Structure 1
Amino acid sequence: MRRPSPSHRSDLPHSREWYARLARELGEYRHPWTRVLGGPDPELTFDALLLEHLTPETRVLEAGCGHGPDAARFGPSCARWVAYDREPELLALARQNAPQAEFHLWDGKSEVPEALRGPFDLIVSRRGPTSVIPHLPTAAAAGARFLYVGPRLDVPRVPERLRAIGWAVLGEWRVSVRAWAPTWEDWRLRCEFMGETARRGDWEAEVTPRGLSYREERYIVLAGES
């Protein structure tokens, strides 16, 4: 498996340069470390909810689409799949991976571009930006749903942001599965990605023959207008 090269001071995790390097070196946006799960992938909950809300008539807006894996996998099951990302390198890959979908460059912070105003029946964000939440009223059709998954058991301010725009949390799921990082380099990359500090002493003190144990976590929210 290809691994991203070591970070530099100007290439901070989740910076534009960092995402561009992942696109160049991995050819996709994904967790850049090897992991061994002790149970089902916690993101399967998000997949199941997404599939439950897709019909041939559903119009979908995806926030932070990365290299387009969801557009490629789920897009053919709905009427329209429109997605955006702030990274041109990832969008170029997405257009190759899901030519039937529509992709646009946007960072989610400025006024919503006309092409992203919908209306959309389902707005999704997989580990993606919560910055889409204030824009939901602009993009959503009547009765629309918002489906989000974050990388920890609690993602700060997601319910609060939804309440601020008059949307209600219809369901919350917190999923935690034991996992192992097989090597020090995998653990270092995982901590870098999550904004945590990897300490070699901790690794050496706690590592097992399977690697270092940790919890792979997801926080999933389904929301709609109050």
Structure 2
Amino acid sequence: MKDRTSLYIALIISGLAFLQFVVLPTIRTRTSMTVINSIMADWQSANHITPMNYWINRNKYPTLPRLVTYKMRNRQVLKKDDELSARFILTLNFEPNPSVPQNSDWLFVLKKSGGNWKVADFRLSKLHPSDIKQQAARYDAAADRAALQQMENARTANAPERQEQQNQPKQQASEVKPLRPIPMKPVETPPQDQTKRPGYRAIPAYVD
């Protein structure tokens, strides 16, 4: 009898563990995936009214062109402090538009709100290598123009000061007066006594 009771308890614990770690995560993933698939279907049909209802804050709903294709890259459902959240990374390919990168990875962050999954965040996950130049041109063009204009303004403002600095050495050089020659007195050397010269030998004088 005790063996059967232990067996039943073990089965119940195993069943609860299977429910907690397998069944419930699978259900949560599928229900959150349903929201993503619904949004993708609406975007492919250029419907931006229905997907707006999935956003927690409708003011953050993006303005996008029609979606052509999409591919699921990664998905993850998390539970922290009794709060459920799901993260999906999809590669989205929209119709050509200068404001939206093509064939790039986007991140969806969903949260369980009021029993339903809602989009809490949607942003570009990482820039695809083929879109680096396009993305940089779009986002940096205005900044580059502003930087160039600022440099031009600084150069124009500093032009008089720079010209003054360039002219200053010339003015200083013109103000330098030439040096007057200093008169030099000749140095008088006294006649040298030949008798004191080393090796001097006197020649005797003969008188007739």
TM-score, length-scaled by structure 1: 0.19
Question: Higher relative contact order at CA 8 Å, sep ≥6: structure 1 or structure 2?
Answer: 1
TM-score, length-scaled by structure 2: 0.20
Give the structure with the larger strand fraction.
1
Give the structure with the larger helix fraction.
2
